[in-house]
Amino acid sequence: MKVIALVFSSLLNRKFTTGLTVFTIGLSVFLLLGVERVRTETRHGFTNAISATDLIVGARSGSVQLLLYSIFHIGNATNNISYDSYQYITNMRGVDWVIPLSLGDSHRGFRVVGTTDEFFDRYKYSRERPLEFIHGAPFTDIYHAVLGAEAAAQLGYQVGDPLVVAHGTGSVNVLKHEDKPFSVSGILGRTGTPLDRAVFIPLEGITAIHIDWSQGVPVPSQVVDAESVRELELMPESVTTLLVGLTSKVHAFKVQRLVNEFPSEPLLAIIPGIALQELWRVMSVAEKALIGISVMVILVGLAGMMTAILTSLNERRREIAILRSVGARPVDIFSLLMAESIVLVVAGIAWGVCILHLLIVLFAPMLQQSWGIVIKAGMLSSKEWYMILNIIGLAIVIGIVPGYRAYRYSLNDGLSVRT
């Protein structure tokens, strides 16, 4: 094993090729680990965002679509649920609680969610964690707003600050509900879910700002000012989606069926876990393709390494003969070349992990902003270690090629290479 000590000097002697090889392998390792990291963190984030909710109810559409717009604020609802249906479901047997969500408005790019203050008690994330207020309190007035941690941080709002809700969810809002401003009553702690980027207002607030609107535009003849609106009936005509908690999970399928067969309105109830599975099935095709491409890129990286070592080998026949003359066994020569492959790959992996973490640190905030996906730097997961071990295993297999070739040279050339 005395030749192993030579590996580093030998590789450093070919700094340029070594550097290039390590760099290439690093990129390919980064790609694979990156795809895996985004995949698992996305799943993790999605799974964490809903717990304690047994059913999600919305207008009839696809279950994945309902899941995406209700919980993850991706896309929009096609239709609403009437207030009557909401009341009916609340009184169904087996139903413990129902939280209505009214979506469709925004504030400076952040989604506005109309709901009841029960939401803050009932909603759970990351298994059983309740929402916490780090500042202020839930709504006590129809013009109160509660901000998710990320929204509050980015907007720089404190409790008491005013905010104006804009109509629609586009980033360029033309129409604003400027006549009825809200004030921040509370700010939630960070959850790592889409809630962090949401602005919550009471359901009555949603009704109030739309009361003098029709077909998505204000109607000038019907203007009702912010104070006199309080005198009116502010129960909404419809809501976008309902989060339903059951007295027992065993009722889930029964209640789901009853909602789906609801006669007066086409509704859809989904069990979040099952809808998530469906989402994973849709996504797994793309995931597999990405993983497949990443594995190919790893193979290309390793093939590049093999080529680099094989190319160097011809110039190194003299070196092999010298090592033989001082007593190196052919198997030592083989180990030297194998060790070179392994050192290159391990260095490449280390580099790849570095790039991964560097990019996570740099771009995770942007990912969270645009898609609400929280990617964390930190320890490698067991799956990632497994991938790394597989890459090293592959490197050993590929390293056999130059190793064996050098071994043959050492046997055939002996001490007499003509250079």
Partner 1 sequence: MKTANVIEISALKYSWASTDTPVLDISELSVPKGQRLFLKGPSGSGKSTLLNVLGAVIVPDEGQIRVLDQDLENMSQSRRDRFRADHIGFIFQQFNLIPYLSVIQNVCLGVRFSHRRSLQASASGLTIAMEAQRLLSALGLNDESLLRRRVTDLSVGQQQRVAAARALLGRPELVIADEPTSSLDMDNRKAFVELLENECTQSNATLVFVSHDPTLSDAFDRVLDLALINKVKNQ
- The residue among 252, 259, 209 whose CA lies nearest residue 234 is 209
* Options 60, 330, 384, 394; binder of partner 1; rule CB under 8 A: 330
* Options 36, 117, 204, 319; binder of partner 1; rule CB under 8 A: 319
> In whole angstroms, how close is the CB of 305 to partner 1 at the nearest point?
19
Nearer to partner 1, 326 or 379 (CB): 326
Nearer to partner 1, 311 or 390 (CB): 311
- Render 327-392 in DSSP notation, one character per residue: T--HHHHHHHHHHHHHHHHHHHHHHHHHHHHHHHHHHHHHHHHHH------SSPPHHHHHHHHHHH
* Options 172, 250, 285, 326; binder of partner 1; rule CB under 8 A: 326
Q: Name the burial class of residue 374, with classes exposed (0-12), middle (13-18) and buried (19+) by CB atoms within 10 angstroms of its CB.
A: buried
Q: Which stretch binds partner 1 (CB under 8 A): 78-86, 164-172, 233-241, 318-326?
A: 318-326
DSSP, collapsed to helix, strand or coil, labels residue 100 as: strand
Q: Which stretch binds partner 1 (CB under 8 A): 6-14, 73-81, 166-174, 262-270?
A: 6-14
Please tell me whether residue 419 binds partner 1 under the rule CB under 8 A: yes
Q: What is the DSSP letter of 53?
A: -
Q: Which residue is it, tokens 């990912």?
A: 367
Please tell me whether residue 13 binds partner 1 under the rule CB under 8 A: yes
| Rg of the chain in Å (alpha carbons) | 31
* Options 281, 318, 383, 408; binder of partner 1; rule CB under 8 A: 318
- Residue 185 corresponds to which tokens in the numbers above? 């009553």
DSSP, collapsed to helix, strand or coil, labels residue 279 as: helix
Q: How many residues does the chain have?
A: 419
Secondary-structure percent of the chain, ordered helix, strand, coil, rounded to 5: 55, 15, 25
Q: Which stretch binds partner 1 (CB under 8 A): 8-16, 73-81, 145-153, 194-202?
A: 8-16
Please tell me whether residue 323 binds partner 1 under the rule CB under 8 A: yes
The answer to whether the Cα torsion of 147, 54, 168, 213 is positive or negative is negative
> In whole angstroms, how close is the CB of 334 to partner 1 at the nearest point?
13
Element (H, E) at 113: strand 110-115
Please tell me whether residue 16 binds partner 1 under the rule CB under 8 A: no
Nearer to partner 1, 146 or 320 (CB): 320
**In contact, 49 and 72? CB cutoff 8 Å:** yes
Nearer to partner 1, 147 or 321 (CB): 321
The answer to whether the Cα torsion of 87, 92, 96, 99 is positive or negative is negative
Nearer to partner 1, 137 or 322 (CB): 322
> In whole angstroms, how close is the CB of 16 to partner 1 at the nearest point?
13
* Options 170, 216, 393, 414; binder of partner 1; rule CB under 8 A: 414
Q: How far apart are CA 262 and CA 256, in angstroms?
A: 10
Q: How far apart are CA 198 and CA 193, in angstroms?
A: 10
**In contact, 185 and 145? CB cutoff 8 Å:** yes
* Options 93, 288, 329, 408; binder of partner 1; rule CB under 8 A: 329
Please tell me whether residue 328 binds partner 1 under the rule CB under 8 A: yes
* Options 78, 325, 369, 390; binder of partner 1; rule CB under 8 A: 325
Q: How far apart are CA 237 and CA 225, in angstroms?
A: 20
> In whole angstroms, how close is the CB of 403 to partner 1 at the nearest point?
17
Please tell me whether residue 366 binds partner 1 under the rule CB under 8 A: no
Nearer to partner 1, 127 or 418 (CB): 418
> In whole angstroms, how close is the CB of 418 to partner 1 at the nearest point?
9
Please tell me whether residue 333 binds partner 1 under the rule CB under 8 A: no
CA distances from 334 to 9, 51, 406 (A): 17, 56, 6
Q: Which stretch binds partner 1 (CB under 8 A): 63-71, 107-115, 319-327, 396-404?
A: 319-327
Nearer to partner 1, 243 or 328 (CB): 328
Please tell me whether residue 343 binds partner 1 under the rule CB under 8 A: no
> In whole angstroms, how close is the CB of 312 to partner 1 at the nearest point?
11
Please tell me whether residue 5 binds partner 1 under the rule CB under 8 A: yes
Q: State which amino acid sits at residue 329.
A: R
What does the binding site for partner 1 look like in residue numbers (CB under 8 A)? 2, 5-6, 9-10, 12-13, 318-319, 321-331, 414-416, 419
